[in-house]
Amino acid sequence: MTFDEKEFLACCGSSKFAKEMALASPFSSLQAAVATARDIWFNKVDVNGWLEAFDAHPQIGKSAPSNHNSQTSAQWSKGEQSTALATATNSSLQELSDWNARYRQKFGFIFLICASGKSTSEILAELKKRYPNRPIIEFEIAADEQMKVTELRLAKLFATKAEAASAYDQHPMTLEKKAEDRVSIIGAHLTATSEAPAGKTFQISARTRPPITTHVLDVSQGCPAAGLDVKLDMWMGKQSRPSFDENDVGGWVLQGFSSTDKDGRSGQLMSIVDAVNPGIYRISFNTGKYCPGGFFPYVSLIFEIRETQKLEHFHVPLLLSPFSFTTYRGS
């Protein structure tokens, strides 16, 4: 499908992103467009472009102004915040506004989160959790959230154009109504947080990436850590969970292995599934090979995914230097 720069600007407010996507168009599929979008966003759009995209969003809890650069983007923002607005009270909106102002004063840009399907209380809790972050960490989280929004909007864009092409031949007078219905269906499916009703199946996975991902930054060099070996294991030992006091050899089962690319992101460490198996996982980084003179031969991070979290996405970034590392759970 072929799209123009204006259409891509509605998906992401970075003019550089929109221009590069228009140059790369047409796309054979949504998956091809998403892959290209991720490459452009993380490898070609600079810091100023990221900030431009952030600034194109209305503050969570508020509508975009009537003179917004993209009315399509403004309309999509309104839909993405519909759950938050429907669950809001006057007091929660005021608290959200106060925290938004504190966040912007600290970081210099708007609080960004993929708000689709999230209540006001969930958004406020996430804002408070992220507020103590260091600016470099929060900047990356915001960029990841922007990419989630972009992927969701690309799906809407593809759905709208596909429906338009089909509807025009069959029923030209009902074109707009059908396109809107299709967008609503796709948007709801991509942001669903619960299992489908019994007997109902979907042809398209709600995910566009594996449930567990990572991203490594070499803070000593100020750049992504490319060529770093990463592996993901799951605990399947005789005991229900590994013990700090006992040898756990033989209990870990390899799920996937990859090396980070030029952006510091690993390849696929597990299959793209709607629901990840609950359990205890270990992600390990071959830091000794990457930095032979460093302090850590390797770094392993162990975390647990509970039954109630199996539909969530777990992003485990690593900020690495020869003698220290920092991690956190992204989204």
My answer on whether 118 and 47 are in the same domain is: yes
250 shares a domain with 120: no
- 248 shares its domain with 146: no
328 is in an annotated binding site: yes
Check whether residue 233 and residue 311 sit in a common domain: yes
Q: Do residues 153 and 74 both lie within one domain?
A: yes
* Catalytic residue chosen out of the listed positions 57, 68, 171, 315: 57
131 and 19 inside one domain: yes
Residue 265 counted as an annotated binding residue: yes
Asked whether residue 266 is assigned to any structural domain, the reply reads yes
Q: Does residue 233 share a domain with residue 312? A: yes
Do 96 and 233 belong together in one domain? no
209 is in an annotated binding site: no
pLDDT tens digits in sequence order for the chain, 331 residues long = 788 999 999 999 999 999 999 999 899 888 889 999 999 999 999 989 999 999 999 887 666 554 445 677 778 878 787 777 787 788 888 999 999 999 999 999 999 998 888 888 889 999 999 999 998 889 999 999 999 999 888 888 887 776 555 544 455 444 444 444 444 444 443 444 333 344 434 344 456 778 999 988 887 777 888 999 999 999 988 888 888 776 666 788 899 999 998 888 888 898 888 889 999 999 999 999 998 988 999 999 999 999 999 888 898 888 888 888 887 776 5
Per the structure, the count of domains in the chain is 2
**Whole domain around residue 299: which residue ranges?**
212-327
Q: How many CB atoms lie within 10 A of CB 315?
A: 18
313 tagged catalytic: no
pTM of the model: 0.52
CATH code of the domain in which 48 resides: 1.10.3330.10
Please name every residue paired with 300 in a beta bridge, in sequence order, or none if there are none.
Answer: 284
**Residue 148: helix, strand or coil by DSSP?**
helix
- Asked which of 104, 138, 162 is the last residue of a domain, the reply is 162
Q: What is the largest CA-CA distance in the chain?
A: 70
Is the residue at 198 inside a domain?
no
CA–CA dist 102, 115 (Å, integer): 19
